[in-house]
Structure 1
Amino acid sequence: MSAHRLIHLIAVGIAICVGRPCLSNERPNVVMLLADDLGYQDVGCYDGPVKTPNIDKLAATGVRFETFYSGCAVCSPSRATLLTGRHHIRAGVYSWIHDESQRSHLLLREQTLAEILHDAGYATAHIGKWHLGLPSERFDKPTPDKHGFDYWFATWNNASPSHRNPDNFIRNGTAVGKLEGYSCQLVVDEAINWLNSRSDSPATDSSADQPFFLNVWFHEPHAPIAAPDSITKQYGKERDKAAIYSATIDNTDHAIGRLVEHLDQMGASENTLIIYASDNGSYRDDRTGGLRGRKGVNWEGGIRVPGIFNWPAKLQSGVTSEVPAGLVDVLPTVCGLLGLERDASIHLDGIDLSSVLRGETDHLGRDQPLFWHLQRSRPIIAIRDGDYSLVAERDYEIPTDNMFQESWIPQIRQGGYKNFQLFDLKNDPKQTTNLAAKRPEIVSQLKTKMLEINRSIMADGTDWSAAQ
């Protein structure tokens, strides 16, 4: 047992004695729904073109964030940030992970949301895309069960060969083989089966009385894409990529609807916290809401995503929040809402959004700005502090390979920045006008904050190129 787990269990015992909110049958369930490459303006409640009545209902009966951000402009690092509440480089993940050629993975030293909930008595399951490192022929890496999940059904990266009839799922370490159907539906099938298997268990600590954390990470609409023709035809021709892209999102919405309906049938929906978001922006320029950039770059179009929190028993209903927030805030927010302890010695880069979600305030300060770093992006670095965004480019060269090379890490950790640009996101959300020359005092203030956060993060980062 890790030290932080032991500390937490002791804290839980103390909490019981003094009457603090903890282990009881009234504890809420937690469901995390994460799309893959879904743009800021894809789904209906964000004025997108796709019919998403089930996602829209979560927004209509919950809190929808107008300015919600991914943990990174690409996949693996964003997911590391979501699970830890920390910048992904602190957690060992610099870019998207290729297990066959890289040592990189989510570090075991990190305290994940799953570990916190597991230690508080929750049953935990990860179902869907993982992409935080799985064992390969060359490298032995920790599997999801080493990060706090009792049960897992996952793919290392994308559904292969596409969303249709994937053949690369692994269940608790054993390859499943080819499955028939579409990935989003298969993922929800597995989630429902897991919930049912718990309901059918004897009434013990691991049975239906136990609250659950269900981490559902869809593959859609990440390429290679596929969707039923009957849905695709609603958006265009059967072979039109834009139509298929939309259909994958529509199909995922149907799957989410089935999962929510099952929670209703279980009598669990009222006391279940559901969070919906995407890991990064869309790779399609027409799905970013006109924001600058797209997936893979640290402009708003690459990092702005949908963000919805729904918990009928406790949170506001039908509210749109203008407070800037993101995946980095999920872990501290869940801990805050549920009254859970975490290891306070671990620095978090996110904050607790509980007071916003409960309607107690419409303004929330941060100890540090939201921060993004991605070595292949121009700009490579970005922060958001209040209404302002500051971005910068790297002052060093790295190869143009799309695949991240761990040999770059020493240069990334030591590298500097140039061409700082300032944008007023309140009045210029599309980042069309660089204000750096007109507001040098703000640039100076934000540059100091940016470089301070960067130094802290790089000091925590693992040099995988030196790992043996």
Structure 2
Amino acid sequence: MAARRPNIVFIVADDLGFADLGCYGGRDAGFGPVSPNLDALAAGGIRFTQGYANSPVCSPTRFALMTARYQYRLRGAAEEPISSRSRGSTTLGLPTDHPTLPSLLKAAGYRTALVGKWHLGYPPTFGPLRSGYDEFFGPMSGGVDYFTHCSSNGQHDLWFGEAERAEEGYLTDLLSRRAVEYIDRMATGAASDAPFFLSLHYTAPHWPWETRDDAALAQEVKSNLFHLHGGNIHTYRRMIHHMDEGIGWVMDALRRHGLADDTLVVFTSDNGGERFSDNWPLVGGKMDLTEGGIRVPWIAHWPARIRPGLESAQPCMTMDWSATMLEACGAPADPAYPLDGVSLLPVLDDPARAFARPLYWRMNHRGQRAYRDGPWKYLRVDGHDYLFHLPADERERANLAGRDPQRLAAMREAWEEWNATMPPIPEDATVSLGYSVKDMPQR
């Protein structure tokens, strides 16, 4: 065990593909390694190869991250995702009376802050400060321009607490610098003996496709934040590199204050990659329950507890990391809201202590459902059922449903039994983005 309760830095990228980082097989970016700092964190800690997001789209995953429970339990998570047009809604957001990862840690004596994307509803009904964070700096919505900080409806969307905050600069860098400033304050303030929990939730590499040097594009994307006609793989990799540089600044701050050994740093993405992502060898992407939409990088670094150079094939998903942090910090769950997430602490100590972990998903979009059980995956898209043996077929090309109908039937029944424990998808739930499942083989 670590000698003291760890600080936590929970870093979440936005729409990052499974193979976008060097440590996950990503290609050289032409200007050198795209993610040297994240690669170093993986080398100094543990890298998971079978880690998943709770959803293939952003805000539903964030509901699970915040609650350590299946997002389907909450109405707001039925939106795929919550749209910036929901501003003013009193139903589409994270209920303030629901226990959260930061509120439980705060009750256990942690100082808490969110630097970056929230995307779980708008004030005055919802907001980070109403769900356990002491401090907040970032956008409330899903995606904003990196320079004007305006959301897809054209409204300015950069906040400090619950007040809009106008700041000049490239958003990724603003978030990184704010995180460093927070660590500096926590390490030197009057309450510096108390541990801290910092959520650092980047919008990178989410659209629009702008690097640190592309301020002139801000006017071009003002009326087209999706930037459908713009971007390229080179810009996309630069965006990842800018985020990686900021993570390097954060790690430097931890080392400068002697905090790196006793800080659990976890990195992942809220869902699979988008149009310029590298998901190899997976297929599909954001909005898909194929592997490319839900399998994401997972890196954990905690020198006081995690030995360097580890790799794990433990199946896990976003809410498991939230449960892991609660256990690591000695913060009990609220018995009225039992966790669906399962702590991964045994695996952090020894990857050989992997355990069976069934994983379930459902999506309103195209009637998708998925169930991962050991090496097997059951998938339904547009009424078609698929059965894949992932160790042999990570690209989900060989549908074994006809060859093994008994296994398919058993997995379908197991998914139905799980689904019966969840609230039904409301009829008025919306899909805000018109993505589609790509290149699916038919039965």
TM-score (norm 2): 0.85
User: Relative to 1, partners in 2 of residues 1:66 and 1:170: Cα closer, same or farther, differing over 3 Å?
Assistant: same
1:259 aligns with 2:250: yes
Deviation at 1:337, TM superposition (A): 2.6
Show CA shifts across 1:239-267 (max 9, x none).
85211111000000000000110011111
SS in 2 for 1:274: strand
Gaps of 5+ in 1: 1-20, 231-238, 395-417
Equivalent residue, structure 2, for 1:96: 81
Deviation at 1:462, TM superposition (A): 7.3
Equivalent residue, structure 1, for 2:19: 41
Equivalent residue, structure 1, for 2:169: 181
Equivalent residue, structure 1, for 2:261: 270
Confirm or deny: 8 A CA contact 2:64 2:70 kept in the other structure. yes
Deviation at 1:464, TM superposition (A): 7.2
- Which of 43, 54, 58 is equivalent to 1:71? 54
Show CA shifts across 1:213-235 (max 9, x none).
000000101001211349xxxxx
Deviation at 1:198, TM superposition (A): 3.5
Equivalent residue, structure 1, for 2:181: 193
Equivalent residue, structure 2, for 1:86: 69
Confirm or deny: 8 A CA contact 1:390 1:423 kept in the other structure. yes
Equivalent residue, structure 1, for 2:329: 338
1:370 aligns with 2:355: no
Q: Match for 1:108: what amino acid?
A: T
User: Relative to 1, partners in 2 of residues 1:88 and 1:149: Cα closer, same or farther, differing over 3 Å?
Assistant: same
Q: Match for 2:10: what amino acid?
A: M
Deviation at 1:181, TM superposition (A): 2.2
Structure 2 CA distance for aligned equivalents of residues 348 and 158 of structure 1: 26
Equivalent residue, structure 1, for 2:198: 214
Moved segments of 4+, more than 6 Å: 461-465
Equivalent residue, structure 1, for 2:211: 227
Structure 2 CA distance for aligned equivalents of residues 295 and 240 of structure 1: 17
Structure 2 CA distance for aligned equivalents of residues 211 and 242 of structure 1: 39
Confirm or deny: 8 A CA contact 1:89 1:462 kept in the other structure. no
Q: Match for 1:305: what amino acid?
A: V
Structure 2 CA distance for aligned equivalents of residues 265 and 209 of structure 1: 16
Structure 2 CA distance for aligned equivalents of residues 285 and 60 of structure 1: 26
Equivalent residue, structure 2, for 1:142: 126
Deviation at 1:346, TM superposition (A): 2.4
Structure 2 CA distance for aligned equivalents of residues 347 and 311 of structure 1: 27
Q: Match for 2:165: what amino acid?
A: V
Q: Match for 2:284: what amino acid?
A: G
Structure 2 CA distance for aligned equivalents of residues 62 and 278 of structure 1: 18
1:172 aligns with 2:137: no
> Number of matched residues?
398
Confirm or deny: 8 A CA contact 1:38 1:281 kept in the other structure. yes
Structure 2 CA distance for aligned equivalents of residues 355 and 343 of structure 1: 22
Structure 2 CA distance for aligned equivalents of residues 215 and 285 of structure 1: 26
1:126 aligns with 2:118: no
Percent identity between the two aligned chains = 33
Deviation at 1:448, TM superposition (A): 1.5
- Which of 414, 419, 430 is equivalent to 1:449? 414
Gaps of 5+ in 2: 150-155, 215-229, 430-443
User: Relative to 1, partners in 2 of residues 1:443 and 1:347: Cα closer, same or farther, differing over 3 Å?
Assistant: farther
Q: Match for 1:33: what amino acid?
A: I
Equivalent residue, structure 2, for 1:298: 289
User: Relative to 1, partners in 2 of residues 1:431 and 1:118: Cα closer, same or farther, differing over 3 Å?
Assistant: same
Confirm or deny: 8 A CA contact 2:117 2:138 kept in the other structure. yes
Deviation at 1:67, TM superposition (A): 1.2
Q: Match for 2:312: what amino acid?
A: S
Structure 2 CA distance for aligned equivalents of residues 40 and 362 of structure 1: 24
Structure 2 CA distance for aligned equivalents of residues 86 and 462 of structure 1: 19
SS in 1 for 2:371: strand
Show CA shifts across 1:131-153 (max 9, x none).
01113xxxx42111111101111
Q: CA RMSD of the aligned region, Å?
A: 2.2
